[in-house]
Structure 1
Amino acid sequence: MVGVVTPTMGVAFSAHTSLATPFTVTRTESTALDGEQAFTVYCSQARAVLSNREATMRYLAPKRASNLFNDLAKWLTARGISLLGSRVLAVRGRKSGEIRTTVVNLFTHEGERYLLAPRGHTQWVRNLRAAGEGELRLGRRSEPFTAVEVADADKPPLIRLYLRKWAWETGAFFDGLKAGSPEADLVAAAPGFPVFRIVTR
């Protein structure tokens, strides 16, 4: 993150500023801040950005029981037995360069297919975001695809549909959200649930 502070500037800062995007502090009051004051405010606002980013980058680590269920679902899916839309997702690791696999739930909404991450910004999400493509496998069948990440504003109906189909399996990961939760609750929670649209290549 890059901050620019000058003797003639006050501070204007948004907690939603991206850490990857340079920002400048702009004049907000007639009396300029001296260097020490400006630096203090800068640090305070930078901490706010980090806190907001942590909240946005929600991630729930899997527990042992969840791992056992996922291992079983992955084993069955790899042998051609889909559990309500399950697929084995294969995507190249963003650091290792090796192909990583995990079981995911594929679903359809208004003619388009999607993947949603109930546990938040998981490793498969970060890998798919970096690679931009992957494969969906069911038994010996493999379907290459391009991934298009869905904007937060477009997620509520997808989250609601996912909960209707798989709340029995993954409901514990949704922080109290239900398929019938108010729209405002789904909108507020959307940044913590990455969603990708599947475009077949």
Structure 2
Amino acid sequence: MSRRHSLSRKHKVRNHVVILLHRLGLPVGPMQLLTVPGRTSGLPRTNPVAPVVVDGTHYILQAYPGADWVKNARAAGHGVLTRGRHARQVDLVELPVAERGRVLREFPGQVPRGVDAFLRNGLVESASPEDFEAAAARCPVFRAEPRRS
């Protein structure tokens, strides 16, 4: 398992600004908010994410090893994706390692500003789709499916 990487103060402030703007109905770039219940408290926990869309399906990738949202998503198996004022309930299905590569390859092309987080955290060596694909064992990927009742 990868060691945990903490967000810098700058990134924590940026996340709070992105969350605030979304709650005001002003989405930022490709960002969406993922809200999942905390695995211990059950309280909603919200994090900005940049989903990748492959064949019409949204996928959420982890750029920060040991991120709490990943642990919460695994425990809950569902959450809410919000873009501006539009929210949708989703089931979060973690992909097996063998299926992650094709989604990870799409990330640098769809979310070029997000590549730096993967580089900074040592998950990839370059912004090439091949390096992202090779990081499949180190990067959890969740498929966001419409929530089943």
- What TM-score, normalized by structure 2, do the two folds share? 0.84
What is the deviation of 1:119? 0.8
In the alignment, structure 1 residue 177 sits paired with structure 2 residue 122: no
In the alignment, structure 1 residue 198 sits paired with structure 2 residue 126: no
8 Å Cα contact 1:93/1:99 also seen in 2? yes
The CA deviation string for residues 76-114 of structure 1, in whole angstroms up to 9 with x for no partner, is 122222223211111110011111111111221122111
8 Å Cα contact 1:121/1:192 also seen in 2? no
The partner residue of 1:138 within 72, 83, 106 is 83
Q: Using a 3 Å threshold, how does the CA distance of structure 1 residues 170 and 75 change in structure 2: closer, same or farther? A: farther
Aligned mates of 1:161, 1:177 — CA distance in 2: 16
Q: Which runs of 5+ in 2 are unaligned?
A: none
8 Å Cα contact 1:107/1:114 also seen in 2? yes
Other-structure match for 2:133: 186
Q: Percent identity?
A: 29
Amino acid in the other structure paired with 2:55? E
Aligned mates of 2:13, 2:114 — CA distance in 1: 13
Secondary structure, counterpart of 2:105 in structure 1: helix
Amino acid in the other structure paired with 1:105? A
Amino acid in the other structure paired with 1:186? E
Secondary structure, counterpart of 2:25 in structure 1: coil
The partner residue of 1:126 within 54, 57, 71 is 71
- What TM-score, normalized by structure 1, do the two folds share? 0.64
Secondary structure, counterpart of 1:155 in structure 2: helix
Aligned mates of 1:172, 1:90 — CA distance in 2: 20
| Structural mapping, 1:1-201, within 5 Å | 56-174=1-119, 175=122, 176-180=124-128, 182=130, 186-187=133-134, 189-201=135-147
User: Taking CA–CA contacts closer than 8 Å with sequence separation of 6 or more, which of the two structures ends up with the larger relative contact order?
Assistant: 2
| Higher helix content, 1 or 2 | 1
Amino acid in the other structure paired with 1:156? G
Q: Which runs of 5+ in 1 are unaligned?
A: 1-55
Between Structure 1 and Structure 2, whose CA radius of gyration is higher? 1
Q: Using a 3 Å threshold, how does the CA distance of structure 1 residues 181 and 143 change in structure 2: closer, same or farther? A: closer
Secondary structure, counterpart of 1:74 in structure 2: helix
Aligned residues: 144
